[in-house]
Amino acid sequence: EAGVAQSPRYKIIEKRQSVAFWCNPISGHATLYWYQQILGQGPKLLIQFQNNGVVDDSQLPKDRFSAERLKGVDSTLKIQPAKLEDSAVYLCASRQGSSYNSPLHFGNGTRLTVT
Partner 1 sequence: SQKIEQNSEALNIQEGKTATLTCNYTNYSPAYLQWYRQDPGRGPVFLLLIRENEKEKRKERLKVTFDTTLKQSLFHITASQPADSATYLCALGVDSSYKLIFGSGTRLLVRP
SS3 of residue 31 by DSSP: strand
Which of residues 81 and 111 has its CB atom nearest to partner 1 in the complex?
A: 111
Window 42 to 61, contacts with partner 1 (CB under 8 A): 42-45, 48, 50, 55-56
Residue 41 is a binding residue for partner 1 (CB under 8 A): yes
Residue 100 is a binding residue for partner 1 (CB under 8 A): yes
36-44 contacts: CB < 8 A, separation 24 or more? 36/88, 36/89, 36/90, 36/91, 37/88, 37/89, 37/90, 37/91, 37/109, 38/87, 38/88, 39/88, 43/91
Residue 75 is a binding residue for partner 1 (CB under 8 A): no
For binding to partner 1 (CB under 8 A), which residues are involved? 4, 31, 33, 35, 40-45, 48, 50, 55-56, 91, 93, 95, 100-101, 103-109
